[in-house]
């Protein structure tokens, strides 16, 4: 399957042919250009990485939930320290992932 990019908004469409009109901005079929194999491969790589980021976000969210339960449970100070450190770490990485994904989107790098 080939990839087609909208020359107006940058939207990338997967298909054997360009769509009749852009699903994002409504530009006509003629505005689409076929991506060369190299660029199409980069788009796939980028999508894969974004999915990994999304998966990590979910796992980190779970780590935060568990940490909050531990902090609430408050068995003893060393335990609470571990939960607090985990929560802070998970929050930090989540912010970095969100900034990274936002960067990809704003640069409109590979759709
Ligand atoms: Zn478009």
Residue range 86-96, pLDDT digits in tens = 999 999 999 99
Residues 31 and 38: their CA atoms lie apart, in Å, by 20
57 and 97: one domain? yes
Q: Please name the residue that has the structure tokens 């970095």.
A: 96
- Dump pLDDT digits (tens) for 44-86: 999 999 999 999 999 999 999 999 999 999 999 999 999 999 9
Cα 23 to ligand 1 centroid, rounded to whole Å: 7
CA of 90 to the centre of ligand 1 (A): 36
Alpha helices in the chain (DSSP H): 37-73, 77-106
Retrieve residue 73's tokens.
């449970």
Question: With 90 as the cut, is the pLDDT of residue 8 above it?
Answer: yes
Q: 57 is in which domain, residue-wise?
A: 50-105
The verdict on 31 and 56 lying in the same domain is no
CA of 99 to the centre of ligand 1 (A): 24
In the chain, the number of structural domains is: 2
- Position 110 pLDDT exceeds 60: no
Q: How far is the CA of 95 from the centre of ligand 1 (A)?
A: 29
- For residue 82, the CA-to-ligand 1 centroid distance in Å is 48
Q: Which strands sit side by side in the sheet containing 12-15, from one edge to the other? A: 12-15, 2-6, 32-34
Instruction: Give yes or no: residues 65 and 29 share one domain.
Output: no
């Amino acid at each position: 399957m080939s990839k087609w990019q909208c020359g107006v908004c940058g939207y990338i469409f997967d298909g054997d042919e360009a769509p009749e009109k852009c699903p994002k901005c409504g530009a006509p079929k003629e505005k689409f250009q076929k991506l060369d194999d190299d660029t199409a491969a980069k788009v796939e790589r980028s999508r894969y990485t974004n999915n990994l980021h999304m998966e990590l976000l979910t796992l980190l969210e779970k780590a935060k939930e568990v940490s909050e339960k531990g902090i609430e449970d408050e068995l003893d100070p060393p335990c609470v320290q571990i939960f607090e450190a985990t929560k802070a770490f998970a929050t930090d990485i989540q912010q970095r992932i969100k900034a990274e994904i936002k960067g990809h989107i704003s640069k409109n790098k590979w759709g």
